[in-house]
Structure formats: structure tokens, C-alpha cells
A and B are shown apart, each in its own frame.
Chain A
């Protein structure tokens, strides 16, 4: 039985936007196992990103509890959350967020310099198939390559969790598939728990579990008995 890495109980998040109260999460319960690949699907505003933000230590829940292993994330202050992100979490964004003044190698090194037991930047870049491009600046890389650098940067510190918010959102299908391939490759080799938000329903087949979000809650859960290989994806 794999270890449980996230435990959410009655998690709620309420935003006050002007005079409106927005209930982004309404008493959500969830367990995520170590090494699992989870895809989060659902319309805009259904709570996927809010959950990911709270799991990543970027945002605070309004009520309820969220445990990372034995640590109660919902009880940590900003400084402790920073340390948590630094040690345990890798992020992949829709728009890559690379530092334009640093090469691919240096963008990865930026994170390995502050991590505790990182892999070498070369190694991380090799994992995403970019060993030949590591001296290039972001301006010299294609969108897919930039996103793979972002993945290499996210995994180089050997995080236990990789949180991806629409990692293929800005990419065409061929490059998108290469990016998913890279993510799954990292999961297979390092056993990193991977949570992927997407609007692209065809990606769900590569996951262990698919969570369908609606109105701040998980409306449906689907377990894939057999994950499809990324090479079989099309969209």
C-alpha cells in the first residue's frame, strides 16, 4: 500500500471579491498517494487551481485541513510555506516563466542552488531530452522546449510533488505530447507525485486517477486501470 502524500478534509476556500463571496472550494475531501499521477478536469472556476495553489503552499484555505504527509499545511505561516515549497514542491506553469536572462542550464541551476539534495542541471535537462540545448537562452528555444526546461527546473530538486497548471495550454498538440511525455518520464523514474490541471480531456487517459471538478467540489472520480502511454495520445 503506497504512502498517502496529501490528505484533504472538509477543505473550503472563500474569496471576497468586492461585495461578492466566491466559494472556490466547498468542503473538499481527497487523498493522494505517493507516486500517483492525477489529472484535474473541470470548467473554469470549478476550484482546480484553488486546490493546486493550496497544495503548493501558495494560498491559504479558509477552513478544513490539508496534510502533506504528517505536516498540516493549513497550519503553516508564510515563512514555513516558503520552506515547504523550496523543499518539496515543483511547479510547472502554462506560460513557462523562465528567466530570460539565464540559459536553460542556468534556469535549472537557479533552483538547484537553493535545494538540499538536487540533481545536476545537466541530469535534469537530460530527463526532458534537452541536453543538447542547455546553453540556449529562452529566446532561442521553441515553446515546447521552454516548457521542458520549466519541467527540468521543477524536478531538479527531486520534489515529492509536481504541480502542473495547464502545462500544455500554450502549446500545439505535437509539442504538448512531448511535454506530457517528459512529465510521465519523470514520474516513472523518480516516482514524483504529479498533479496536472488541464482543459484537454484527452490527457486524462495517461493518469492513474481523474478528478472531475464542478462548483468547488469533486463531482466524479475515475480510476484508470491501465494508463495509456503518452505516445498513444492525440488531440
Chain B
């Protein structure tokens, strides 16, 4: 082994703590990259494989009743690869020992063979026998929520008649990965289940022999979804077809897509920031470390070593640190990535998981870290190599300091000499001080980005559940009902107030941009379910025109006063033009609202209702539940209180997990940053500090002098870090905003405080570590040696 390499190993051993701190920062950056991108790739691949193996459909449509003979015509639509016609019906469930009314999405299973599309993955048990009128298979989430096993029983209100059902199998379907009940925005596995039943049984219950009520299509690879949907709509129109839609508007797919998008966006937003901070830190630290070696470099040159050899020696040092960081980071990132993948896999109930190995990621992370490290080392080496050996071996002349203020303005008596030393040091190395401050500010910033999601979610909850949708419960009906139902509902036990709503499926268009959504008609004086504008003020719905989600306005590129084209997809199916009256603040889905009377006029129908929002006396909830369970016209009952709990649970999974991981990584980076700055300052100033000890300064006083500068920079870095954090949070919020869900950026003061507290704690911790070093300063050596 070359002697220089032996020196390298010994240097590494001598500087192990610092080397490890630098390696950990690199590891933090690499880990975020590997974990975020890796888990997203794995989940994305898993979903793709799941969809593929279990034939998830591309186009979905529901009809009132269409003859099976239509299936051949549908299959002949150009671009259609497979057709699956079936019976799909919503019904109320009555589950033993469960007070609240639940809803079931009943889907028929062909009596011969497997479904053509959206095939089931059977977890436990078997499929229902053809014609076995009580046998059902249920989705796993629902079964788990109630502890159902094959043999468990519950009853359902099918077409007005209560039927006892027995579970024979528990299954998964690519169509129902993410399941939400009628009126719900978040899954509630206790209150909503997917129930598969023999087609023969369902057909006889709903009087649909030789007919279907739902059809799913698989398209050929190069087919135009838009064309197929148009032709399908034409075919289904006279059978009471509601407009067909693609995967984008399929609830399960859209939510899954949204969650994966969030992961993907996180992987695009956070790792680059982490890598940047890591790179920046390596650069700063290494250039100072190499500069400390000035004398040795002079000696090596005096002994006849060439610049290239010396440079290589230091580059090797950097490579070892970086490689260690990349290895630790890749291992940690892979482990965390598979943890996240498993977590989400369990959450979505994927039947299997595909873990993608991403060598390109490791390579990218390694290349990035190495480039940053080598550039840092080279920058420092450039100055040193330029020195003639004789000069390099001399101690550097005392650096030239300058007064901070003109001579006549003296600070003597105002600040102590240690404070003066600190201030002059900062002024003497403004770039270094600036970089150190920026580094710590970035650490605070990434902590804010890791933590702000909580605040934003609380704001979302506040606006959604306490300002806008203030009802206690929402009851939705299977079919539209007349206005009289409002009175009927008001008479139910415990009901304090009732507000009806009407929903019309539409396509809304401006220029070439089009979205499929529901227009909700609400009473003008609605008080339970209020409309909140973008300034968070309740607004009264205008007599004419639409109130639309601000997000929809953004997507369509319209503002209040513009006119949009609307295809009414129910009733007479007209195309109308409506003005945008106001933009509203909402966070889930794309919505449009209208005054209920205006909507009936538009539909050319009498006042009709699809559901009601209720205010309820909570002491009489059980009575209300019992009453609802017996109403065959009801498809489901959503409870705001339960929705809120579910929302918190669901969101908590993503947010808390990700926030904890990223917070830890950010804390490591903050620690590495402060520790390295302190350690290098100590090396650079060892002689100065030891002299002070000789003069009778205590260990504490010397430590204070050493850390005063860092403490000041650390404090100055905090407001800067808050600004950086807020802006990064804004970028992240903007990246995460989707049609299904978005947030209003809110960063609470506590989050700033917490982020700064973590950085300051990391700083204090590193100060404690450095204190050991200060206590070990060699006082005697100072008397004899020169720098």
C-alpha cells in the first residue's frame, strides 16, 4: 500500500467523527431519493401488474336496464377489446352489532366462468355458487372492519326486501381498491362494502333477467377512449344510460392515482432539496478540511510529490466519505422504501407487491454526491496547490482583519473582546459565514416542509367540516325523489333540520377543456351545507349561474363572469350555456353548485331531491339509524363525525409516516451541518483557543467563544429558514394539488417554532460533542508549536 494511502486511512481514523457526520448527511440525501422514488416505482409497478393480471376495465357505464343482446353491439364498437355486462346495485345493509346503517355495492358474478373484466383475487373461501341465493363474497377491507370470516352473516335491503346473506368468500378487486360509500369522501370500511353475488340471484331480485345495469369495457391499446365513450353513450342512451366515463373518473382509480401522485410529487420535491443541502454541506466542509492540511501539502510538495498526486490523495479522502454515505443512504433508503411500499400496499390491500430494484437511482445518487464532494475538495485544493512549497510550509501570516466601524466610533465597553472576535471573524469570512447560515437555514426549511402538512390538513378539516359541510349526516337515495321526501325525513326521530340537494351529472366545457362532474342544487338559504368563497366567507348562491371550485376555474381557465358550456347528462340531455357566478374554496373533487330552483328550471322538472343533509340530535342517533335501515329508497347514510375520523386516519398514515421519516433525515442534516462547522472552527482556531485557556479562561468560556459565532449564525439562519421553508411548502403544496384533493397552504407558528427547535437542538447536541474536544485541548503544545 502506498504510504499516502496509509496516511489516508490514518486521517480517516483521526477524523472519524467528522467523517461520519459528513457521510450521514450524504446518506440523508441519498436515502430520501432512494426511498421516495423507489417506493413510488414499486407501488406504481404493483398497481400496473395488478390491473393487468386482473383485467381492470378502461371504460365504465351504468344504465337503468339494458338487454344483454346489446353486449354484442357494444363489442363491435371499434377499439373495444372486451365487454363485461353485469348487474350493479347499491343497497342498505344491516350488520349485527353495528348500529349505523351501512351500504353495499352489489355486483353480479357470471354463473358460468369468471367475469370478463375486473376479476377477483380470492383471499379466503370460495366464490358464491351460481343460483345460491344467500351466498356472497365481500371485499377484504369490509370483512376486516367487521371481523367477518366465511360463514359470517348480515342482511341487506335488496329492492325493498330484507334478505339474510352468508359470506362464503373474501376477495379483492382492481376495481375497488379504494372504496367510498355514497356521500362519503373518504373510505369507511365499516360502513361500505363491495358484495359479489350470483347473477341469477341478483337478476331475480331486481327483475333484471336477460338484462344488465352496468357495463365495463377493456379497450385495445391504440383505441380512442373518447370515441368509444361517445359511441357507447349513443347505444346506452335509450336504456337510461348515464354518460360513460374512463378510468380518470373512476373513484378507486382516481384516488389511487392521487395517492401515488402525491408520493411521486414528494419524490420530486423533497429529495432534490435534501441532495442540494447535502452537496452544499460537503462542499463547504471539505474545502475547510483540506485547507487545514496546508502544511502537510507544503511538505509533500517539498518532498517532490506532484500536484496531481496530492490532489488525488484528497479526492480519495472525499471519495471514501461519499461512498460511505452513498452505501449507508442506499441501504437506509431501500429499507425505508420497502417499508413505505408495504405500508401503502397494506393500506390499498394489494394482493401482491412488486419491489422494484433501481440501480439507476443508486448510480444517480452516487454521482450527484460525488460530484458535489469532489468539487468541494478541488475548490480548496486549488488555493493550496497554487502555493510554492516553501510558503506552504510557513505558517500563514496573521490574516488581515479590519475594524467593523470607523475608528472614531468605538465599541469598546459596549461589547466584550470575545464578542468582538466573533463579529470580526464573521466579517472576515463573509462567504463562509453566509454559506453556514444558508446551510442551517436550509435545514430549518426542510424541516418546515416535512412538518407543514399537518397544519394544512387541519385547515382543510376546519374549512370542510366546520365552515362548509356542517351537517351531521347525509342521506342519499337510490333514485331521485320528489320534494315531499324532505318533510318525511324531518319527521324521523332526532332530526332537527333537513336540507335537500339535487345532483345532476354533467360535462362542463370551456374551449377544449372538459370535465365530468355533478352540479349540486341547494336551497338558497342553505345553512347546514354552506358555500364558502375563496376568501373563506359564506356566500349565498346566486339566482343564476354556477358556483364552481376554484380548482375547476383554474383547470378550465375561467373566472367569474365567463360562460361555460354544460352537457346535462340526465333527463332531456340538453347542452346549455351558463355563467360562472362565483369561485368557491373546496378541497375535495371538482364541484359546481347552483340554486336549487334555478337547477329545476334548467332541468325543466319539478323540485326533485337526490339526498338530504341532516342536523341531528345526537342523543337519538340510534333511533334514527333504525329508521333509516328500514328505508328501501335509501342507498346510504354518511356521517360527518365518522368521515372526519376516517379522514384523519387515512391522511395520518401518509402524512405522519412521511413527516417522521423526513423530519429525522432533516434533523440528521442539521446536526451534520452544525457539528461540522463547530469541529472545523475548533481545528482552525485550536491554537487561539488553547492560548485563552493558558491565560486562565475556563473551558466553558472558551467553548462559548468557539460557539458564539455558530450560535449567532444559527439564530440569524432561523428567519431565513422560515422564509425558505414557507416557499418550499408552497412549491410542495402546488405540486400536490390535484383534481381530487388539494390544500390551502397554512403554516402555523408552532411549525416554525418546532423546526427551529429541532435545528437548535441539533446545534446544542453538536455543541456538547464538541465540548469534549475543547476539554482535551493541548495547552502545553501551544507554547511550543507554531501554526
List chain A positions with a Cβ less than 8 A from chain B: 49, 53, 56, 58-59, 79, 82-87, 89, 91, 93-95, 97-103, 105-107, 109-111, 113-114, 135, 137-140, 153, 165
In the complex with contacts A101-B424, A139-B399, A85-B696 CB distance below 8 A: yes
Task: For A91, give its contact among B424, B783, B785, B787 (CB under 8 Å).
Answer: B783
> CB within 8 Å of A: which residues of B?
395, 397-403, 407, 412, 416-418, 420-421, 424-425, 428, 687-688, 691-699, 701, 779-780, 782-787
Whole-angstrom distance from the CB of B786 to the nearest CB of chain A? Answer: 5
Find the A residue at minimum CB distance from B688: A99
With a cutoff of 8 Å between Cβ atoms, the chain A residues found around residue B695 in the complex are 85-86, 91, 110-111, 114, 153
- Chain B contacts for A94, CB-based, 8 A: 783-784, 786
Q: Determine if A137 and B784 form an interchain contact, defined as CB atoms under 8 angstroms apart.
A: no
Chain B residues whose CB sits within 8 angstroms of the CB of A111 once the complex forms? 695-696
Cross-chain contact B701 with A114 (CB below 8 angstroms): yes
Docked Cα-Cα span, A56 to B696, in Å, equals: 10
- A139 to B424: give the CA distance in the assembly, Å: 14
User: Is B401 in contact with A110, judged by CB distance below 8 angstroms?
Assistant: no
Known: A56-B694, A101-B424, A102-B420. 15 other contacts (CB 8 A): A59-B780, A89-B696, A91-B783, A95-B395, A99-B421, A100-B399, A101-B399, A101-B401, A105-B412, A113-B416, A113-B417, A114-B697, A139-B398, A165-B783, A165-B784
A95 and B418 alpha carbons, distance in the complex (Å): 21
**Total A-B pairs in contact (CB under 8 Å)?**
101
Bound Cα distance A49, B697 (Å): 21
Q: Nearest CB to that of B782 among chain A residues? A: A97
State the Cβ distance, A124 to closest chain B Cβ, in Å.
Answer: 13
Indicate the member of A85, A97, A100, A101 with the most B CB atoms within 10 Å: A101
B421 & A101 in contact (Cβ 8 Å cutoff): yes
| B421/A93 in contact, CB under 8 A | no
A165: which B residues are within 8 A, CB to CB?
A: 783-784
CB atoms of A109 and B693 under 8 A apart: no
Give A100 to B425 CA distance when docked, in angstroms. 9
Complex Cα spacing A100 to B687, Å: 11
In whole angstroms, how far apart are the Cα atoms of A79 and B775 in the complex? 11
Q: Are B398 and A137 in contact (CB under 8 A)?
A: yes
- Give bound CA distance, A91 to B690, whole Å: 12
B420 close to A101 (CB less than 8 A): yes
Query: In the complex the two chains form, what is the Cα distance from A95 to B395 in whole Å?
Result: 11
Closest Cβ neighbor of B685 among chain A residues: A99
Judging by beta carbons under 8 Å apart, are A82 and B698 in contact? yes
A53 and B421 contact, Cβ closer than 8 Å, known pairs A58-B694, A100-B399, A113-B416: no
Quick check: B696 and A110 within 8 Å, CB to CB? no
**CA distance in complex: A82, B407 (Å):** 35
CB pair B696–A82 under 8 Å, yes or no, is: yes
Query: What are 26 of the A-B contact pairs (CB < 8 Å)?
Result: A59-B779, A59-B780, A82-B696, A82-B697, A84-B696, A91-B694, A91-B783, A93-B691, A93-B782, A93-B783, A95-B786, A95-B787, A97-B782, A99-B691, A100-B398, A101-B401, A101-B425, A102-B401, A102-B417, A106-B420, A110-B421, A113-B416, A113-B417, A114-B696, A137-B400, A138-B398
A53 B398 Cβ-Cβ under 8 A: no
Residues from chain A with a CB closer than 8 A to the CB of B399 are 100-101, 139
Q: Is A83 a contact partner of B696 (Cβ separation < 8 A)? A: yes
Residues in A whose Cβ lies below 8 Å from that of B784: 49, 94, 165
Q: Which of B400, B687, B698 contacts A97 (CB 8 A)?
A: B687
CB-defined contacts of A97 to chain B, threshold 8 Å: 687-688, 691, 782
Residues of A with C-beta under 8 A to B687: 97
Once bound together, how far apart are the Cα atoms of A135 and B397, in whole Å? 19
CB distance from B579 to the nearest CB of A (A): 70
Q: B787 to chain A: which residues have CB within 8 Å?
A: 95
The complex places the Cα of A177 from the Cα of B421 at a distance, in Å, of 31
In-complex Cβ contact of A109 among B402, B417, B425 (8 A): B417
In the complex, the chain A residue whose C-beta lies closest to that of B696 is A86
- Complex Cα distance, B419 from A110, in Å, reads 10
A20 CA to B37 CA, complexed, in Å: 58
B104 to chain A, nearest CB (A): 78
**A208 → chain B closest CB, angstroms:** 23
A53→B694 CA distance, assembly (Å): 10
A107 to B780 alpha-carbon distance, docked (Å): 20
**Across the interface, which residues of B come within 8 angstroms of A84, CB to CB?**
696
How distant is the Cα of A111 from the Cα of B417 in the complex, in angstroms?
A: 9
The answer to whether residues A58 and B696 also contact, given A98-B398, A137-B398 and a CB cut-off of 8 A, is no
- Residues from chain A with a CB closer than 8 A to the CB of B783 are 49, 53, 58, 91, 93-94, 165
A103 contacts across to B, CB distance below 8 A: 403
